[in-house]
Structure 1
Amino acid sequence: MKYAAMTGTFVAVAMIATAAFAQDEDRTGWPESFTVGTASQGGTYFAYGSGWANLVGDELGISGGGEVTGGPMQNMALVHTGDAQFGMTTMGPAAESLAGTNPIAPGLQMDKACAMFPMYQTPFSVTALTSSGITSIADIPAGAKIGFGPAGSTSDTYFPRMMETLGVDFERRNGGWTDLGGQLQDGLLDVIAFAAGVPVPAVSQLEVQTDINIIEFTEEERAKILEAFPVSEFEIAANTYSTLEDPARSVSMWNFAIANCDLPASFVKAAVEVVMSDNDRMVGIHKAARSTLPENWDKNAVLKWHPGAAEWFQENAGADIPADMIYSN
């Protein structure tokens, strides 16, 4: 059974079921605490990940929290090794990590990171100060200093390649989103190339403090990117930012929460139940969670599913997950 929304009655029942589940389930092997690998402060991963970590911890009665990391690539490594129980990644970095091309540990196939639940799509967008006069990709001057986010992040992995594909000549800069936003305001950067769930907290903060341009791709530019990279068409809704008057043309990549494959199935299933049973609570954490819906389980075609997560989606979302896509020792 697939469903796009839940009524208030269903939500209430789901919450009661969650509490009962947490109390009655066999907790053999459960950790006393857990961490969720997120990304830099000021980005969507940190806000979203810290939020669901706290929610799961509160509902299951164990200590849990978000951890600042370098983003999807590092999260794959942390979850694979068990240094973080949970994390978040995008499908591109996940595929590279499984193939052994993650720059954090070249040659290591990170196959102990399992799919947990669908999160949201990460749009790729460009922001500049209005005072710069940059209103399009073509306006970016040769040698422009562009901030691509934390080293090894989804943005840093793919956006420089996208810019090169579009013929942009640039100097690469890395850092946390909040720090890069400050550098843009101070004139130390010409452009920030964001890859993060919208609204990006750092962009929302920027438009409160100064005038900015959120730059969309032209149809031709987007076509080039779609042909060259593992992304999909996306439009950033006009009501996402006060700066936008119309939807902004973009591309996106799906994000999934991940779990160490060796965690107890009952623990992961319980955590998934907390997150997926009440979308309103997740949207209250971050608006990007509007896509954190059971029917989006099928957006994962890369990672093997954690057995506990697979069981939840099979029972509650009618997920037809092939046996060879479910992790087994």
Structure 2
Amino acid sequence: MKTQAVMAAAIASTLVMSTATQAQDRSGWPESFTVGTASQGGTYFAYGSGWANFVAENLGVSGGAEITGGPMQNMALVHTGDLMFGLTTLGPARESLEGNSPLAPGMKMDNVCAMFPMYETPFSITALASSGITSISDIPDGATIGFGPAGSTSDTYFPRMMETLGVKFERRNGSWSDLGGQLQDGLIDVVAFAAGIPIPAVSQLEVQTKVNIIGMTDEEVKKITEAFPVSEFTIPASTYQSLDAPSRVVSMWNFAMVNCDVPESFVYEVTKLTMENNDKMVSIHKAARNSVPENYSKNNVLPWHPGAARWFNEHGYTIDASMIKQ
């Protein structure tokens, strides 16, 4: 009995020391955090809002999402420290890192670090079924196309893609939910979406009216992948009610990012929570099926935050020291 009592006391002492150590590890942690997302009606807002709440509830730090103009603006806000976390696609991230952001020409946004992989952003086109537009080549000259918020991934790349494919159009910007409403009301002809699937605005649209979700031909995919930092992607038919077969498009990877000055221990715990609970992430948004550690290798643009890199390296996902922010 005495031996058991001694062992129990030793275990209790160890737990107290462990708890004290954890408390010390929280030194420098923020009292709150904000995640830069994008417009309402898009995947970034749904994913980012849910993820912020998940982190806040589990780590005991107040957090929430902020509506922004998307990846380009998120890069700028995280770089300056106005936001702690943000979501971005790697194309806009590269342009911002190199000082080519249209929001701040010449400013190299190099105080932004990668934290974990999110999902691929497919570039897809939606039109009303009543328009008769069933392919990109059907889009008439002078058609008004909604490209999402100014500075978003879609707005940055989709107009150039359409020009590459010979489409002549009038450009319209706005939130995804607003553009979906304009499409339904006949105020614009097409919406060119770049967002994780299923896109809330498209799901809402097809409940209210008949739509065509337009894919790309072999030739169109070839032209686009040769000209832009994207790869071929297939939207499963089960994604939308309006699809009766898989839709072939192109896509670009998204990563969660963090200001590089955020404490390592905090970023480690955020990364750990996210990467070790994919079932919870998928319940936030189905696009999170791809928010798994194996996809860390898709990042060839941003340096890794030391806290995130520590978690990946501890779990067998090797991140070279040269790719970790010093």
TM over 0.5: yes
Matched letter for residue 319 of structure 2: I
Percent identity between the two aligned chains: 72
Residue 48 of structure 1 corresponds to 47
User: Aligned with 1:227: secondary structure?
Assistant: helix
Residue range with higher mean Cα deviation, 23-32 or 40-49: 23-32
Misfit runs of 4+, over 6 Å: none
Report the CA distance between 1:119 and its aligned residue.
Answer: 0.2
Structure 1: distance between partners of 2:36 and 2:228:
25
Query: Aligned pair 1:314/2:313, yes or no?
Result: yes
Matched letter for residue 161 of structure 1: R
Query: Aligned pair 1:94/2:58, yes or no?
Result: no
Residue 151 of structure 1 corresponds to 150
Output one character per residue of 1:113-138: Cα deviation in whole Å (capped at 9) or x when no partner. 10000000000000000000000001
Residue 187 of structure 1 corresponds to 186
Report the CA distance between 1:25 and its aligned residue.
Answer: 6.0
Structure 2: distance between partners of 1:28 and 1:107:
36
Output one character per residue of 1:234-288: Cα deviation in whole Å (capped at 9) or x when no partner. 0000000011011000100000000000000000011111111111100000000
Q: TM-score, normalised by structure 2?
A: 0.93
Contact preservation (8 Å) 1:22, 1:60: no
Residue 66 of structure 2 corresponds to 67
Residue 287 of structure 2 corresponds to 288
User: Aligned with 2:25: secondary structure?
Assistant: coil
Gaps of 5+ in 1: 1-19
Contact preservation (8 Å) 1:118, 1:292: yes
Structure 1: distance between partners of 2:147 and 2:178:
11
User: Aligned with 2:162: secondary structure?
Assistant: helix
Gaps of 5+ in 2: 1-18
Output one character per residue of 1:285-309: Cα deviation in whole Å (capped at 9) or x when no partner. 0000000001111010000000000
Residue 234 of structure 1 corresponds to 233
Question: Larger C-alpha radius of gyration, 1 or 2?
Answer: 2
Structure 2: distance between partners of 1:24 and 1:287:
34
Residue 3 of structure 1 corresponds to none
Structure 2: distance between partners of 1:65 and 1:83:
14
Residue 29 of structure 2 corresponds to 30
**Correspondence 1:289-304 to 2 at 5 A:** 289-304=288-303
Report the CA distance between 1:63 and its aligned residue.
Answer: 0.5
Structure 2: distance between partners of 1:322 and 1:60:
28
